[in-house]
Amino acid sequence: MGSIETVGIVGFNVMGAAIGLNAASCGYRVIYKELNDELVRTTYDRWVKSGLEKRVAKGKMTQAEMDKVTGLISGTAGYKDLAPCDLIIEAAVEKMDLKIQIFKDLDKFCRPDAILASNTSTFLIEKLMASVSHPSRTAGLHYFFPANINKLVEVIRQKETSDETFNALMAFSGKNNKVPIAVNDFPGFAINPVFISSYMVLVAFCGDTYSAATLDEISKQALGVRYGIMWVLNNSGLGTAYHAAVSMNDYLADSDVGFPLVPEPLKTQFEKGKPWDLEGGPMVDDPAVLNVVKERLLGSVFTISTHLIEKRVVSLKDLELGIKTALAWPKGPFSMMNDMGMAEAARLVNMTVESGTFKRPKIFAEGVPSAWEL
Ligand SMILES: NC(=O)c1ccc[n+]([C@@H]2O[C@H](COP(=O)([O-])OP(=O)(O)OC[C@H]3O[C@@H](n4cnc5c(N)ncnc54)[C@H](O)[C@@H]3O)[C@@H](O)[C@H]2O)c1
C-alpha cells in the first residue's frame, strides 16, 4: 500500500461529487465512475462545471484555481479506468445489494492494495465488504451532508481493517481539511445513532399539544442550537429521516442498547410529502409543558451516547468532537451532563430507560456516576 495520490469515487452525485471536489481542491487526482456516459457528462456539468463557475462568478475562487481543480478530475462509466486509484470511495445509492456488487466489481478491476471505502450511512461495513479479497484494506469513510462544508468524517474500522488502512484514511481526511474521528463498525456508526434517536424522541410528541414549531423551539432551547431539529429534518428530507429511523430501529430495538419506536407522526408527514410547518400551529410557552419534552430529549441523548462509549464504538472525546462538528451542537453530550450535574443527568437517563426507549447503560445501573473526564 503506497501513499494516496489518486482517488476513485463511485457514484458522483450529491455526496460523491462533493467528496471528489473536496479531494481535487486539496490536490488529489480524482477519477469518478457513474452508471453510463450520459450520467458521467450530466454530473460533471452540474457539480464540477456549473458548481465551480458559480464560485468563480462570486469571487470565491479564481479562474486559475478552477482550472487547476477541473484538470484533476475525470469521469468514466467503466470500472477498468479506476485501476490507477490508490483509494476508492463508494458513494452510490443506499442499497445493500448494489453496494455489495460494486465492491465485488472493484475487487476485480482495482489493484489488490487499493483501499476500498464506503460512504454508506446505514449498512455495516463488514457486510458490504464480505466478498472483497484482502479485507484488511477495507473501511468506512462517512462524510456528512453537505460534504463540501461539514468538516466531520467518521473513519470506520471493521474487524478486518488493518492499522495501515485506518491510519492512511485518518491522514487522508486530515489532508482534505476534514476533522476525522475514529469509529468502530456499528449500526449508524457514532453520530447518527445520537441524531436519529433525538429526532425520533422529539417527533413522537408531535400532536395537539406540541406543534412542529413548538418542538423545533424545544430542541433549540434544550441543545442550544441555532437551527432546530425539525428545521434540519425539513432541509435534509423527511424521506431520508423516516427510512433511517426504520433502519436504526430494526438494527437496535431488540439489542442490549434498545432504540425508540418509529414515531407515527414521522411516517404520516413523510407520506404527505410535505415538510413540517414551522411557522403555524399553537406555540406552547408553559415552561413545565416544554420541560416534559426537553427532559426526554436530553435523557435520550445522554443514554445513547453512554451506550456508544460503553460499547467502544467511539471514544468519549471523539463523540464530543464529532457531535459538535457534524451537528453544530455547541456542547457534546458529556459536557452537557457534567454541566447539569451527574445526579440530574442520571435522573434523565433513568426516566428514559423507564419509558422503554433504551436499555440502561451499565454505568447508570450503579447509581449516580462521577463527572465525565472530558
Ligand atoms: N445525502 C446525504 O445526506 C448523505 C449523507 C451521508 C452519507 N450519504 C450516503 O452517501 C451515499 C450517496 O448518497 P447521495 O445522497 O449522494 O445519493 P445520490 O442518489 O444523490 O447519488 C448516487 C449516485 O450513484 C450513482 N450510481 C448508482 N449505482 C452506480 C454504479 N454501479 N456505479 C456508479 N455510479 C452509480 C447514481 O447514478 C447516482 O448519481 C449513500 O450511501 C448515502 O447513504 C448520504
Tell me how far CA of residue 28 lies from CA of 1, 52, 109, 339, in angstroms. Answer: 17, 17, 21, 43
Our separate counts of H helices and E strands in the chain read 16, 8
* Within-domain flag for 27: yes
120 CA to centre of ligand 1 in angstroms: 8
Q: Which atom of ligand 1 is nearest to the CA of 146?
A: 3
Whether residue 177 sits in one domain with residue 195: no
Q: What's the mean pLDDT in 138-164?
A: 97
Domain containing residue 236: CATH number: 1.10.1040.50
* Within-domain flag for 121: yes
217 CA to centre of ligand 1 in angstroms: 32
One-letter identity of residue 51:
G
The DSSP H or E segment spanning 15 is helix 14-25
* Within-domain flag for 370: no
pLDDT at 325 > cutoff 80: yes
DSSP 186: -
The band of 334, judged by pLDDT with boundaries at 50, 70 and 90, is very high
Overall pTM > 0.85: yes
The band of 369, judged by pLDDT with boundaries at 50, 70 and 90, is very high
Q: Are 12 and 34 in contact (CB under 8 A)?
A: yes
In the three-class reduction of DSSP (H, G, I as helix; E, B as strand; rest coil), residue 10 is classed as: strand
What angle, rounded to 10 degrees, do the helices at 316-327 and 333-340 form?
100
How far is Cα 319 from Cα 179, in angstroms, rounded to an integer? 12
* Residue 339 in grid coordinates: 454541566
In the block, cell 422529539 appears at 202
* Within-domain flag for 47: yes
* Within-domain flag for 372: no
Q: What's the mean pLDDT in 154-158?
A: 98
How far is Cα 336 from Cα 320, in angstroms, rounded to an integer? 10
One-letter identity of residue 300:
S
Return the closest-CA partner of residue 350 out of 277, 312, 295, 313: 295
Whether residue 85 sits in one domain with residue 179: yes
Q: Which atom of ligand 1 is nearest to the CA of 14?
A: 16
How far is Cα 334 from Cα 303, in angstroms, rounded to an integer? 10
Q: Which atom of ligand 1 is nearest to the CA of 105?
A: 31
Ligand 1 contact, 99 CB (< 6 A): no
Whether residue 295 sits in one domain with residue 146: no
Report pLDDT for 180.
Answer: 98
Whether residue 229 sits in one domain with residue 180: no
Report pLDDT for 78.
Answer: 97
Whether residue 155 sits in one domain with residue 48: yes
Torsion of CA 57, 60, 65, 67, to 10 degrees: -30
Q: Is 41 exposed, middle or buried (0-12, 13-18, 19+ CB in 10 A)?
A: middle
The band of 281, judged by pLDDT with boundaries at 50, 70 and 90, is confident
pLDDT at 2 > cutoff 90: no
Looking at the 3D structure of the chain, how many domains does it have?
Answer: 2
Peptide bond into 146 cis (omega under 30): yes
| Domain boundary residue, one of 135, 168, 184 | 184
Report pLDDT for 203.
Answer: 98
Domain containing residue 17: CATH number: 3.40.50.720
15 CA to centre of ligand 1 in angstroms: 6
Q: Is 335 exposed, middle or buried (0-12, 13-18, 19+ CB in 10 A)?
A: middle
119 CA to centre of ligand 1 in angstroms: 9
Domain that holds residue 63: 6-184
Q: Classify 11 in phi/psi space as left (phi over 0), alpha (psi -120 to 50) or beta.
A: left
Report pLDDT for 19.
Answer: 98
| Domain boundary residue, one of 130, 152, 184 | 184
Q: What is the pLDDT of residues 91-137, one digit of tens each?
A: 999 999 999 999 999 999 999 999 999 999 989 999 999 999 999 99
Among 13, 41, 141, say which to mutate for ligand 1: greatest number of ligand atoms within 8 Å of CB.
13
* Within-domain flag for 373: no
89, β-bridge pairs: 9, 117
Report pLDDT for 27.
Answer: 97
pLDDT at 218 > cutoff 80: yes
172, β-bridge pairs: none
Whether residue 305 sits in one domain with residue 200: yes
Q: Are 141 and 152 in contact (CB under 8 A)?
A: no
Report pLDDT for 233.
Answer: 96
Ligand 1 contact, 10 CB (< 6 A): yes
Among 110, 121, 125, 240, say which to mutate for ligand 1: greatest number of ligand atoms within 8 Å of CB.
121
One-letter identity of residue 230:
M
Give percent above pLDDT 70 in the chain.
100
| Domain boundary residue, one of 124, 153, 184 | 184
Report pLDDT for 189.
Answer: 98
214 CA to centre of ligand 1 in angstroms: 33
How far is Cα 249 from Cα 164, in angstroms, rounded to an integer? 34
Q: What is the pLDDT of residues 234-266, one digit of tens each?
A: 998 899 899 999 999 999 999 999 999 999 999
Whether residue 359 sits in one domain with residue 275: yes
Whether residue 168 sits in one domain with residue 19: yes
Q: Classify 271 in phi/psi space as left (phi over 0), alpha (psi -120 to 50) or beta.
A: alpha
Q: Which atom of ligand 1 is nearest to the CA of 93?
A: 22
DSSP 357: S
Ligand 1 contact, 8 CB (< 6 A): no
* Within-domain flag for 374: no
Ligand 1 contact, 118 CB (< 6 A): no
Ligand 1 contact, 149 CB (< 6 A): no
DSSP 94: S
